[in-house]
Structure 1
Amino acid sequence: MAETIAHDRMNRFKQLRDYIRKINFFNDAETTSVIDQLFATRIVIFLMTIALIIIITWASLTIQTHSVTIPSPSETIFKQLSVRYPNTLSCRCTQTSIHHHQFLSFDPQYHPICTSQFISHLFISALSKINISDYYISDYRIIVSSHFQLLKLLCETVKQMIDDSLFIFDSKYFTTTQVLSIEKFEAQINQLIKQLKSTTMTDMKHTSDYLGLIIFQNGIYSALQTKYRIQYTPNSNTYSQPSNEYNTLITTCSCETNAACVSQAELYYFQGYFLGNSSTADRIKLMYFLGRIFSIPGMMVGCSPYSSLLQSSLQCFYDQSCIQQMQTFIHGFSLLSPLSSSHFQPDATIENLLNELFIDSWNEKRNFSAYFDICSPLSCTYTYDRRFNLLHIIVTIISLFGGVQMTVFFIAPFIVKIIRRCQKCKRQCNRSDNLSTETELETNSNQSKFLFLYGYRFLVEEFVL
């Protein structure tokens, strides 16, 4: 059975081979022999096969760019397309100018000090009842009310400035002709937020620097006598105005030469001034009893309440035990509870808080869906590149095959003629070579015969004579 199948296959193969051998595309050519016609047919088949391979390879490897348009795409479809075709996707907006507040909003979260009881009217009013004449000139209780009034003013100023900045920011337009991808949208929003923060912080710093410059340049004295104190000399009935000095860890600083002098805020036991006679002379002497009671962590006193506040920190007011110690000497602190935690460090200075606008978080809310709905693209167009497109390969073969076929059928007989002529020339050359070889051999044979006869005659004559 197996031998029969193999024999049938061999017969079919031989029939196919014989059929292929008998294929003749030029059987109508009367001027060409059958052998040349078959030879030309083989050339046509060979060249057409090579051409077909080249055409298929070229069409398969060629990159085709396809363009697709999707009408009225949804946000979901847009997101999918922006991921798959980020470089070629194009969706034109129907509304190119959009107010910032339509897709971006802020809810600033301020430092706890700006929402605490420390800047409440009740607390500041309680501090204002302190009689400063009862305390030593460097006692913190003299300027404690001014510090918290300034804190209240700074918080209110910052809030008002941020509200104004946000109002201006919301009224501006965000302009885009094309719908932005989520990544580009986020990048643009980050840039807008960064610009808003930078502008507002710069304005606040300019305001703070301008305020400090006005105080310094105009030589404004505090009524609390933090920079200069008025000193009365009883025996001469005169008044003097010496500058205050503040002791730091390194050196002593005088307000006469440096308006930013500060030292640690402290509470003192102070019995008061009284007049007494000197033991060595009959002159009157001003005397007082003084003792340090408590150092307030983070708080500073200095030449002006404003400059000392900027260099202070709220470290004490995060700690319940520190507030309780303050309650012992300043009754207004009994109204307070500790500050809650924030992203600022407890030992951050008020100047650092002010430079950051007392903001813990801007709490910005970005709404890409609102932006997309307002932009409302009518259509989205994207392009993509593709290889091995079967339809493109078929179309290319159909478009090129006819021209290639005509060319091959035209040149095949000429190729046969050229080959035949080359073969004819080669045969003629071989015949010429063979003829010249035979002539040379005949010449050599005649010469040998002549030499033999001449030699024989010479020998005979020599011996006979």
Structure 2
Amino acid sequence: MTLNMFENVHKPNPSDEELNAQRKWTRAYIVVLIVIMASVSYITMLSYQTVTTIVYKPTLDEYANLPKSADCLCTNLSIPYHTFINFNPQFYEVCKSHFIKLNGGWMSLLYKSYTDQQDNKRNLRTFQGMAIFHFQAIQAMCRMVIMAVNNELTLFLNSTLTTVEILESDLFEKKINTTINSFCLNTMRSNFLYSLQWIRNMYSGNGLISALATNWYPVIAFEATIGTIYMKAQKYNLSSCNCATMPGCVEPMSLELNSGSNWTVPGMMIGCLPLESMLESTLECIYDQDCLDTITETLLAKSIRALSSTQTRFKPINTTKLITTASELFIEDWGVKFSYEKYFASCQPKTCSYVSSERFHIITSMSTIFTIYGGICILLRFIIPIGFKFAYKCFSRRNRQVTAMDTT
């Protein structure tokens, strides 16, 4: 009741009126201070603060424990793919088998069969006369595919992945899978198939004549020192398909048995051009031991081991044409492996920062409250006396006006 926080040290004996006014100011000061500080404490304890946390040179384990909103800037912005991606393509088994080995038993057998047919002037439009060229075409195509794949892989792996911030593991995996699929399906296939189609269009569009006379053959009416040689188109499928109008004519290839009869070789085709007929053929015979035994017995050679159909993904064997296999680049499996750990090490993030919202801690809250308390105390010591004096003047003026009206 007697507390006086506004005591004037220069007037040690104030009048009763001044003393009562100072005590009123003190009571108002205490009430206002309590209300303000209670409000400030309530707001401070319940409010959230924004905290920025910085982690220097984080390890992969530390990065994994950071919030997904963390920003980690890479030291190396451009990272070559070969630092974290590895390719080990597995090619079609035929491309690495003894059936296309240059000096292997199978190619030597087919070449001997062709020379025998040629020397004896026998029909070359048989397995004995044409098989060597089919497998030479397969050999050339396998070699071209392997070379193209290796060249394209070198270019791709030396290109770079550009990222300003390090990618999260799931986003990294999606991005790399998309990049690899685009490379495998679009770049590789389009480049190889474009070259293959360009070759096919070149010799068919220009009417090139095969040295094997499979599409055109010469017709000599009579012998003369100077004369004209006329070329006549070959026909296939019982003369229903003419190479002059349809360069892609094909029909089943037959093997001349020792008995003199013809035996149709499963899957093998013959036509206007060896490449076209080879692309329309299947390779089911070299996966069938009985088929190979029939061929080797006819050609008077040792038995040749067939390939296993369980080693290839191009199935069914008896219906999958070589053009289908070629469009898949003769690749059984790309053997792609990529490492997020190696990508993280190549990125080398210097700092990771993230912003979080959390309630004020007790120590922080008390520090804030005491800081505000000092300012409010000083402010109230100025405001409250002025406010009381202003209110007193307003109240006194109103009383005088009321008294004057009553007197009147």
Matches within 5 A, 1:119-130: 119-121=100-102, 122=104, 123-130=106-113
2:377 match: 405
- What does residue 76 of structure 1 align with? 61
Question: For the Cα contact (< 8 Å) 1:117–1:336, is it kept in 2?
Answer: no
Aligned pairs, number: 386
Displacement of 1:169: 4.1
- 1:361–1:43 distance in 2 versus 1, CA, 3 Å: farther
Show the counterpart of 1:151: 138
Q: 1:233 to 1:64 in 2, by over 3 A?
A: same
TM-score normalized by the length of structure 2: 0.75
Distance of 1:414 and 1:24 partners within structure 2:
16
Q: Deviations over 1:71-121 (max 9, x none)?
A: x443433443xxx2343332542x666554443332211111111222123
Structure 1 residue identity aligned to 2:147: Q
The alignment's C-alpha RMSD in Å is: 4.2
Task: Choose the corresponding residue for 1:160, options 132, 139, 147.
Answer: 147
Say whether the 8 Å CA contact 1:246–1:262 is kept in structure 2: yes
Partner of residue 47 from structure 1, selected from 32, 39, 57: 32
Q: What residue in structure 2 maps to residue 307 of structure 1?
A: 276
Q: Does 1:318 align with 2:304?
A: no
| SS class of match (2:51) | strand
| Residue of structure 1 in register with 2:263 after alignment | 293
Q: Point out where structure 1 has 5 or more consecutive residues left out of the alignment.
A: 1-20, 273-290, 437-465
Gaps of 5+ in 2: 9-13, 223-227
Structure 1 residue 154: Cα displacement? 0.9
Given the alignment, which residue of 343, 348, 351 partners 2:313? 343
Distance 1:353 1:413, change over 3 A: same
**Identity over aligned residues, as a percent?**
23
Cα distance change on mapping 1:147 and 1:405 into 2, 3 Å: same
1:215-364 aligned within 5 A = 215-230=203-218, 241-247=231-237, 252-267=240-255, 293-294=263-264, 296-297=266-267, 299-327=268-296, 329=298, 334-340=303-309, 341-345=311-315, 346=317, 347-364=319-336
- Which residue does 1:451 correspond to in 2? none
Offset of residue 337 of structure 1: 1.3
SS state at 1:382 partner? strand
Superposition deviation, residue 240 in structure 1: 6.4
Counterpart CA distance in 1 for 2:308 and 2:266 is 16
Distance of 1:407 and 1:425 partners within structure 2 = 27
The Cα shift of 1:126 comes to 0.6
1:27 deviates by 5.6
Partner SS, residue 63 of structure 1: strand
Distance in 1, Cα, partners of 2:111 & 2:369: 98
After superposition, the Cα gap between the structure-2 partners of 1:211 and 1:407, relative to the gap in structure 1 and judged at 3 Å, is same
Q: 1:51 to 1:128 in 2, by over 3 A?
A: same
What residue number does 1:443 align with? none
Say whether the 8 Å CA contact 1:162–1:200 is kept in structure 2: yes
Residue in structure 2 matching 1:388, options 356, 359, 370: 359
Cα distance change of structure 1 residues 148 and 332 upon mapping to structure 2, 3 Å threshold: farther
What is aligned with 2:225? none
1:108 and 1:430, CA in 2 relative to 1: closer, same or farther beyond 3 A? same
> Which deviates the most, 196-205 or 321-330?
321-330
Give the drift of 1:209.
1.8
Change (3 A) 1:415 1:293: same
In the superposition, relative to structure 1, how do residues 49 and 357 fare at CA in structure 2: closer, same or farther (>3 Å)? farther
Alpha-carbon separation, structure 2, partners of 1:42 and 1:247: 118
- Aligned residue among 31, 47, 50 for 1:64: 50
8 A contact 1:326–1:333 mirrored in 2 = no
Verify the 8 A CA contact 1:135 1:270 in the aligned structure 2: no
AA paired with 1:411?
Answer: I
1:85 aligned to 2:54? no
Instruction: Look up the SS of the partner of 1:383 in the other structure.
Output: strand
Aligned counterparts of 2:126 and 2:269: Cα–Cα separation in 1: 11
Give the helix-richer structure, 1 or 2: 1
1:131-146 correspondence runs (5 A): 131-132=116-117, 139-146=126-133
CA deviation after TM superposition for structure 1 residue 361, in Å = 1.6
1:361–1:37 Cα change, 3 Å:
same
Are residues 252 and 426 of structure 1, via their aligned partners in 2, closer, same or farther at CA, if it must alter by over 3 Å?
farther
CA distance in 2, matches of 1:387, 1:190: 38
Find the aligned partners of 2:80 and 2:220 in 1 and give their Cα distance. 65
In the alignment, the residues of structure 2 paired with residue 392 and residue 155 of structure 1 have an alpha-carbon distance, to the nearest angstrom, of 73
Structure 2 counterpart SS, 1:387: strand
